[in-house]
Structure formats: structure tokens, C-alpha cells
Amino acid sequence: DAKTTQPNSMESNEEEPVHLPCNHSTISGTDYIHWYRQLPSQGPEYVIHGLTSNVNNRMASLAIAEDRKSSTLILHRATLRDAAVYYCILRDVAGSGNTGKLIFGQGTTLQVKP
């Protein structure tokens, strides 16, 4: 399973942008980069995903390095409700035997200060 590396924790001030980094130096050409977050006492929820190009949605933006060995999740204006554990996951469903499973690491715990 392809591995990702994230900082254990980060802090942000409310209404400021947050950049959450993820390293995935062993990424393969068919791996999609997914981000999920888990609020306290909730199941994980999907945030965003991408393959090669930068992506934007209503929740966040995903910036993918040109060599795809790292990516950054960008929350444009952090709110107190964004305090959560953020997981960066590689999902590969290409080729026989690949199961499309989501393998979670430890994630980054984001604290948002008022």
C-alpha cells in the first residue's frame, strides 16, 4: 500500500487560510490523492481528491506538485468547525488485484483558534 506522511498536528487562526501538507514520494501513476477529515465523534467525511491537476470544490482546494510526490490541502478561511483530523490517502484501483481500499494513516490534527 502506498504510504503518505503528514505532520501530526497544526494550528491555525480562525478566518485565516490553512495549508495542510502531505508527502507521498512512492506514489504510482494510477494513484488518486484523496483527502478525508474526521470531526470529533464522527465518521470520516470526504473532502476532495485529484490525480494530476489542482482541484477546487466548495470545501477546499487541492494543490498537487508537478512530480506528484506531494500535495497540499488548502482551507481558504478556517472556521472553528474545521477543527478535525485530516487524512491524506492514496487510492489505486488500476490493475488486477487492486481493491480500491482506503488506507488511513495517523493524519494531521488541525486546531483552529478563535
43 binds another protein (CB under 8 A): yes
Q: Binding mask 45-84 vs another protein (x if CB under 8 A, - otherwise)? A: xx--x-x---------------------------------
101 binds another protein (CB under 8 A): yes
C-beta of 76 vs 101, nearer to another protein = 101
29 binds another protein (CB under 8 A): no
Helix (H) or strand (E) holding 23: strand 18-23
Q: How far apart are CA 7 and CA 72, in angstroms?
A: 12
93 binds another protein (CB under 8 A): yes
Name the DSSP class of 5.
B
7 binds another protein (CB under 8 A): no
Neighbours of 31 (CB within 10 A): 20
Residues 111, 84 contacting (CB under 8 angstroms): no
Q: How far apart are CA 7 and CA 28, in angstroms?
A: 22
Give the interface with another protein as residue ranges (CB under 8 A): 30-32, 34, 36, 42-46, 49, 51, 85, 87, 91-94, 99-107
